Amino acid sequence: MSEPIHTSVLLKESIDHLNLRAGQTVVDCTLGLGGHSLEILKKIGSKGHLIVFEQDEENLKTAKERLKKFEKQITYIDENFENLKSQISNLKLDSVDAVLMDLGLSSPHVDNAERGFSFKNDGPLDMRFDKRQTLTAEKVVNSYKENDLADIIFKYGEERKSRIIARKIIEERKIKPIKTTAQLAEIIKKTIRTKSKTHPATCVFQALRIYINRELEVLEKTLDDAINLLKPKGRIVVISYHSLEDRIVKQKFKYYTKDCICPKELPLCQCNFQKKLYILTKRPIIPNSIEVAKNPRARSAKMRVAEAI
């Protein structure tokens, strides 16, 4: 197999917005193949400290090799970034200067059929970022009840035909277990007609992936922790790739710009909530046409940035 490649999305824009200086402590929650991390390391210099999370062991290995010459400055954490708060405290730190999240899949996930994320390359129905986890897409598709499957497809794929698809999956799995990505994609293709250029299985695959990896739940929790860990003037930059993620980032940032979170009925504030953020991107930053032409996988990216008060 050739060397796995991932082209970092919004690289210049994200690094510029992190507003880094020499000697700072920065967290890259999504190391991937280390493209963003490499640029962060150049900015923070030899006295800087970069803490990285990556739950995919293959990407972690590739990134470690790529960032070898900086290894003394990097703390590698081979865990889900949902453990951000506890891991920062294990390092005896109570705050950081900047946090980056470049969410979702890396190119090797899509290109390597064995990972089971893609219906274009046939592979086992897997979809786990972290292979230590036991729940796979195959288990969900072959053992969940019809209603639960339909709910997952609707909630995380925003697929209006979720009930019809779930019913068809149940029928088909009675005949033969659904074990591969191509098998599942074919079942969905047979079930729903669409005029759109997008493959009819796209939303179902997105839904399963989000569910298996608990992506939205983990994002929501970690945004809280990351924002609360930022030093004054520290920046948080989040690049998301679908509307469900972007909505969470947008709402979470907005929440932390409030002075009060008391119910509207209360005549006086009792919450003592303190505004924590300024939003620096009223609208998300998106890749320009040159970037999208060079890297079509960047087309859905949206970047939001906020600064701690």
Residues at the contact surface with ligand SAM, assessed by CB under 6 A: 6, 8, 30, 32-36, 53-56, 59, 80-81, 102, 104, 106, 129, 218
* 48: nearest Cα among 15, 70, 31, 78: 70
Residue type present at position 275 = K
Looking up tokens 């608990």 gives 214
Residue 183 in contact with residue 189, Cβ under 8 Å?
no
Closer Cβ to ligand SAM, 166 or 303, answer by number: 303
Closer Cβ to ligand SAM, 140 or 223, answer by number: 223
CB of 187 to ligand SAM, least distance (A): 27
CB of 58 to ligand SAM, least distance (A): 9
Closer Cβ to ligand SAM, 104 or 157, answer by number: 104
- Which residues, in sequence order, are bridge partners of residue 43? none
Rounded Cα distance between 236 and 224, Å, is 11
Residue 215 in contact with residue 245, Cβ under 8 Å?
yes
* 5: nearest Cα among 299, 303, 295: 295
Closest-CB residue for ligand SAM?
A: 32
Closer Cβ to ligand SAM, 204 or 218, answer by number: 218
CB of 281 to ligand SAM, least distance (A): 18
The answer for residues whose C-beta is within 8 angstroms of residue 158's C-beta and 6 or more apart is 203, 243, 244
CB of 156 to ligand SAM, least distance (A): 15
CB of 242 to ligand SAM, least distance (A): 12
Cα-Cα-Cα-Cα torsion 17, 18, 20, 25, nearest 10 degrees, comes to 180
Closer Cβ to ligand SAM, 148 or 217, answer by number: 217
Secondary structure E strands in the chain = 25-28, 49-53, 74-77, 96-102, 230-240, 277-279, 302-308
Buried b (16+ CB within 10 A) or exposed e, 109-142: bebbbebbbbbeeebebbbbbeeeeeebbbebbe
Closer Cβ to ligand SAM, 80 or 118, answer by number: 80
CB of 225 to ligand SAM, least distance (A): 12
Closer Cβ to ligand SAM, 106 or 206, answer by number: 106
* 188: nearest Cα among 206, 204, 170, 212: 204
CB of 137 to ligand SAM, least distance (A): 16
